[in-house]
Amino acid sequence: MHTPSTSPVSYDDEQLLELARQALRIEAQALNDLMGQLDGGFAQAVRCLLACSGRVVVMGMGKSGHVGRKIAATLSSTGTPAQFVHPAEAGHGDLGMVTRQDVVLAISNSGESEELALILPQLKRWGVPLIAMTGQVGSALARHAQYVLRVHVAQEACPLNLAPTASTTAQMALGDALAVALLQMRGFQADDFAQSHPGGALGRRLLTRVQDLMRQGDDVPCVGPHASLGELVHEMSAKGLGASAIVDTNQQVLGIFTDGDLRRLIDQGQDLRGLQAQAVMHPNPKHIAPHALAAEAAALMEANAITSVLVVDGDQRLVGALNSHDLMKAKVI
């Protein structure tokens, strides 16, 4: 293991913070400069990627390779099938992963990577379109490419101006710009994004529907308008939702009564004897459709400071119910 020849330098907290600020300033300036480098080549590259009937094959060595893996993953998750192929491995058989229907996006700050240079002639013989992302437009990589994306940075954030820092940040940002342009041209929507992210919190928020979580049938608390308050409270307690719907003979929703309503009646000292559901219910309660996203139900509850919501069909008939505990259990919130 190599150890530095110099002794560690001592910095106080403010000096360390200033080192961080300087690195961020340099990288922010690199991104600002990158906007000025965009030209028609970017638009042409986007159209080339959009027309690709195969996959976008991303290549890069070293730090550019790490950036390339992330770009390939971002493209794949936003509607553009992509894969990363290591240039060194491509020279030893993995070039067979590339087909004539693909487009190659090659990333190299210098544009002179030997591993990339070795496989460029073969790509040209196959007629595979090549997009170069490089800081040097006069490099071998740029000369072989049909489309050149210039990613030149004035300096690295590394104080020695050696370690790829600002240059890789710019590469990453330009890869994101490609992905964003492509997803918008494809008309890519949140539902499409969810299909490639079925796991985790994001997938749950984008894929889970109210009908997947709602209580149905006998598990939904409901009474008629002439039910006594005692019957109403018993229904609420038995079903454990913290509320009960009041419906007519056609199951159309007339109102709702909650635990909070019961507490308020008691606090007011009202005579509870003889009260009927229609006298204590809230008419026109908040409701949601079964095909709505569960995340929409969560937003509805939060916006109205309620903990449960009724689920109704197009004819305003009660078909289910949902509360915040159901959403938390499903990890939607």
* Tokens 């000292």 -> residue: 269
13-188 and 210-329 in the same fold: no
Side by side, which strands form the sheet with 56-60?
82-84, 56-60, 103-108, 130-134, 147-150
- For the chain, what percentages of helix, strand and coil (3-state, to nearest 5) are there? 50, 15, 35
Tens digit of pLDDT at every position of the chain (333 positions) = 566 666 788 999 999 999 999 999 999 999 999 999 999 999 999 999 999 999 999 999 999 999 999 999 999 988 899 999 999 998 888 898 999 999 999 999 999 999 999 999 999 999 999 999 999 999 999 999 999 999 999 999 999 998 999 999 999 999 999 999 999 998 877 665 655 555 555 556 667 899 999 999 999 999 999 999 999 999 999 998 999 999 999 999 999 999 999 999 888 887 888 899 999 999 999 999 999 988 899 999 999 999 999 999 999 999 999 999 998 888 887
- 306 CB-near residues (< 8 Å, 6+ apart): 258, 286, 300
Listed in order, strand segments (DSSP E) in the chain are 56-60, 82-84, 103-108, 130-134, 147-150, 222-223, 243-247, 253-258, 282-283, 287-288, 308-312, 318-323
CATH class of 13-188: alpha beta
pTM of the predicted model as reported, rounded to 2 decimal places:
0.66
**Fold of the domain spanning 210-329:** CBS-domain (3.10.580)
Domain ranges of the chain: 13-188, 210-329
Half-sphere CA count of 201, side-chain side, radius 13 A: 4
Is the separation of the CB atoms in 244 and 318 below 8 Å? no
